[in-house]
Amino acid sequence: MTSGMPLPEEELDRLIDALNAGRTPPAPSTAEAADHEVLVRALKGLGESSTLDTAPVPAQVGRRTRRSRRRPLFWAAAAAVAAGVLLGVQALVPGLGDRNWVLAMEQAVAQLTSYHGVLEVQTTNAEGEAWLTRRLEIWSDGDRYAVRDQNGVLTVNNGTQRWQVRPEEREVAVLPLIPDPRSFDLHDEADRARGYPHEVEGRETVAGREAVRLRITPPGGQPYHLWLDAESGLPLRLQTAMQNALQTTYTFVTFEANAAVDPDLFELAVPDGFTLIEEDPGQLVTTPEEAEQIAGFAPPLPDEAPARILARDGRIVLDYGDTYIEVEPDDGDFEPEPYGALGRAAGGPLEVLGDELRWVQDGLLIRVAGGESVELARQLAPDLELPDRGDDLISAAQIPVRGLNREALEASQQQVDAGSSPWLLDPVYVAHVFVNLLVSPEGITGEGEIPFEALTLAASSGAQAVVEVSEGPAARVYLARLVRQDETGIWTVVGYDPREGQ
Amino acid sequence: MPNAEPSPAPNAAADAYRRHWGAIYRFIYGRVQNREEAEDLTQEVCARVLGRQGAAAPTPAYLRAAALNLIRDRWRRRRSAGVLTPLEEAWLVPDDDAEPGRRLLDRMWLAGLLERLPDDQRQVLELRVVQGLSRAETAARMGRSEASVRGLQYRGIQTLRAMVVAELGTTVVRKEAERT
């Protein structure tokens, strides 16, 4: 069993093997290794298979690939419609009304302590074409689970560690506990399905068994379908609603409730001839003090305690389930993304992009992502000010820009929508062009007289923005998203303040 | 000031996803060169961008920018120093950047550098990386041992890296000269 920093030749060899196998390579251990990784990726681009003319095909076709870890999209799709793949160990009494099916399932899940089954997961697009197909063997025992895919790769989470056994590469990789993108969990889904309106739509044959089809409608969500074995009440199939042009169908082709699961499955062991790789997993710790000892800094703590805390050198993650807080020392490089919105937190800029917030506080770069991000962020930074799309940032402009042509702006927006001139989505870039045109109205040659570094995004509500300029005829440039007011809208200069003395 | 446009239809995001996911996947694949990462990143980009209810249809340009930023963010976070090397930064410059000369890891240029390597170093990188052969297959083709292939591919990448870094340095100096 070996671990720790690999030799450079070995690290490169492993990198090449991973990319050739269609896998994510291990994180580079040095800057030189990072450069090697870029060059290998770039060289692979010279090969015949580097450009794909078609969308991804199911794993069974073409070069051997390993299925990616299930991603939040599938989790979100399943969770949003509360995929209730429940197990009914009690036989259902014939003739019961709709409500008793879910009640029986709820009771059955409460009794469920473990299970073992083979799950076929197929994702199709809106045209009905198979986009991804996987076959997974699943063992679940309390909070522990193990999944083996059709390529033999085994992923295990025993609650304190997560690892992956890769037979073809003859290696065992210890992975970070968070994020852990499982497709669905029976107990979690049972909690969500409780109380949702549902109706029996009919009977049909699924996986060779007679099944009852239920239509379940979560409040505020799209309806989805669940098929139960008509004899045992066991769930046979779940089909999510079509979301983001994808629909996923989960079918248990075999299922054994309360199966005896070999406890050795959840013990990390490296088979003979295999190499152990630690892909920077971090450790689960029980107290913030332990996290501080490992990470080398004290984490800021919200009022609400996390469900779990993970730490490694230079990084701490507070896990709240669907939201997490990630903290690392600030390297001084934090700059909010220009296509996001700007707020304020801890006396400095706050970047808001969807449900992710980032800011620097007490020398730490904090990132909060998930459904409760704002609430948790406020607990860390009480002075948090979210951007307000209604904020008026532009009426202060001393010199308004006149003659804005609505048709021309809409044409530009359409061009950007089609993929041209993406720089129109960056308010700093748009302001850069504007100030250089003030200097050279006949047209800009090269990069222009006023360098890009002279401009700074000073404020952004997401709909209006102010850019400060340190040289040239304009001291401040005011911009607005006139055609569309979200992250996909182009920016237009609507006014500026001349520099005093010019 | 023109009036704001009305809110977009709720299916705009789904329509955009249907139109763009293949292109986004191909774009990301072009950068990461492996299916597992490309699938992960494509799904995360689309979930981030399209996950908001009632969001307007994102543009391909926006999706590409979001993809590059996501890759950059992921690569930064897996490093203890939290910074990318100049080569990594150069690789993540958008194709349609307003400064055409900025993307230094251009494929044509890289292919040219490969030709300038010593024959054995060039051959091992062509077989192992460009063609994707295993170490054993490469060793058989070159009439060498697997250990020899391992050492040779390392020396080849080192030589290539030195050439690329030297060129990066020259370009930075040239651009600085143009500014003054």
* pLDDT tens digits for range A143-163: 788 989 877 889 899 888 888
Which pLDDT does position A319 carry in this prediction? Answer: 84
Contact call for A73 and B43, based on CB within 8 A: yes
- Cα dihedral value A166, A168, A171, A174, nearest 10: -20
Q: Phi/psi at B129 (nearest 5 deg)?
A: -105, -55
Contact call for A27 and B79, based on CB within 8 A: yes
Residue of A nearest to B133 (CA): A20
Which pLDDT does position A41 carry in this prediction? Answer: 93
Most confident of A162-166, A292-296, A378-382: A378-382
Residues facing residue A33 across a β-bridge: none
Specify whether the CB–CB gap between B105 and B87 falls below 8 A: yes
In chain A, % of residues over pLDDT 70: 76
Contact call for B150 and A406, based on CB within 8 A: no
Lowest-pLDDT range of A101-110, A228-237, A288-297, A332-341: A101-110
Specify whether the CB–CB gap between A180 and A162 falls below 8 A: yes
pLDDT confidence band for A75 (50 / 70 / 90): very low
Q: Which residue has the higher pLDDT, A492 or A122?
A: A492
The secondary structure of A153-195 as a DSSP string is -EEEE-SS-EEEEETTTTEEEEE-SSS---S--HHHHHHHHTT
* pLDDT tens digits for range B8-42: 344 555 555 656 677 788 888 888 988 888 888 88
Q: What is the mean pLDDT of residues A496-500?
A: 94
Edge-to-edge, what's the strand order for the sheet holding A492-498? A399-400, A492-498, A474-480, A464-469, A455-460
Q: What is the mean pLDDT of residues A297-326?
A: 85
Which pLDDT does position A192 carry in this prediction? Answer: 53
Contact call for A72 and B17, based on CB within 8 A: no
Which pLDDT does position A56 carry in this prediction? Answer: 41
Among the partner-chain residues B15, B33, B179, the one whose CB lies closest to the CB of A45 is B33
Q: Which of A52, A74, A163, A370 is nearest to B38 (CA)?
A: A52
- CB under 8 Å to A222, separation ≥6 — which residues? A80, A81, A241, A242, A243
3-state secondary structure of B25: helix
Contact call for A422 and B62, based on CB within 8 A: yes
In Å, the largest CA–CA distance within chain B is 73
Residue B109: alpha-carbon gap to chain centroid: 15
* B85 contacts on A by Cβ (under 8 Å): 31, 34-35, 38
Task: Give the minimum alpha-carbon distance from B143 to chain A in angstroms, rounded to a whole number.
Answer: 19
Contact call for B58 and A488, based on CB within 8 A: yes
pLDDT confidence band for A320 (50 / 70 / 90): confident
Here the tokens at position A251 are 């079918």
Task: Give the minimum alpha-carbon distance from B34 to chain A in angstroms, rounded to a whole number.
Answer: 4
What's the burial of A14, exposed, middle or buried (CB within 10 Å: 0-12/13-18/19+)? middle
Alpha helices in B33-100 (DSSP H): 35-50, 60-77, 86-91
Task: Give the minimum alpha-carbon distance from A164 to chain B in angstroms, rounded to a whole number.
Answer: 14
Which pLDDT does position B173 carry in this prediction? Answer: 46
Residue of B nearest to A281 (CA): B78
* B54 contacts on A by Cβ (under 8 Å): none
Among the partner-chain residues A36, A42, A484, the one whose CB lies closest to the CB of B105 is A42
Among the partner-chain residues B2, B5, B129, the one whose CB lies closest to the CB of A40 is B129
* B25 contacts on A by Cβ (under 8 Å): 52, 55-56
Among the partner-chain residues A20, A280, A331, the one whose CB lies closest to the CB of B82 is A331
CB pairs under 8 A between A and B: 239
Q: What is the SS3 string spanning A49-80?
A: HHCCCCCCCCCCCCCCCCCCCCCHHHHHHHHH
Q: What is the mean pLDDT of residues A388-401?
A: 87
Q: For the complex shown, is ipTM > 0.90? A: no
Q: Does residue A324 carry a pLDDT above 50?
A: yes
- What is the C-alpha separation between A278 and A273, in angstroms, rounded? 16
Q: Phi/psi at A242 (nearest 5 deg)?
A: -70, 115
Quote the mean pLDDT of chain A.
77
* pLDDT tens digits for range A223-275: 888 888 777 677 788 888 775 456 778 888 888 888 888 989 999 999 999 98
- CB under 8 Å to B23, separation ≥6 — which residues? B60
The secondary structure of B133-177 as a DSSP string is --HHHHHHHHT--HHHHHHHHHHHHHHHHHHHHHHHHHHHHHHHH
Which pLDDT does position A108 carry in this prediction? Answer: 65
- What is the C-alpha separation between A439 and A435, in angstroms, rounded? 7
Which residues in chain B land under pLDDT 50? Answer: 1-10, 52-54, 97-103, 172-180
Q: Does residue A362 carry a pLDDT above 90?
A: yes
Contact call for B34 and A25, based on CB within 8 A: yes
pLDDT confidence band for A195 (50 / 70 / 90): low
Which pLDDT does position A60 carry in this prediction? Answer: 21
Specify whether the CB–CB gap between A346 and A383 falls below 8 A: yes
Query: Cα dihedral sign for B96, B98, B103, B104?
Result: positive
First to last CA, chain A: 71
Task: Give the minimum alpha-carbon distance from B99 to chain A in angstroms, rounded to a whole number.
Answer: 8
Contact call for A416 and B135, based on CB within 8 A: no
- State the amino acid at position A222 in one-letter form: Q
* A70 contacts on B by Cβ (under 8 Å): none
Specify whether the CB–CB gap between B45 and B71 falls below 8 A: no
* pLDDT tens digits for range A422-478: 778 889 989 999 999 988 888 776 677 898 889 989 889 888 999 999 999 999 999
Which residue has tokens 């996950």? Answer: B51
Which pLDDT does position A271 carry in this prediction? Answer: 92
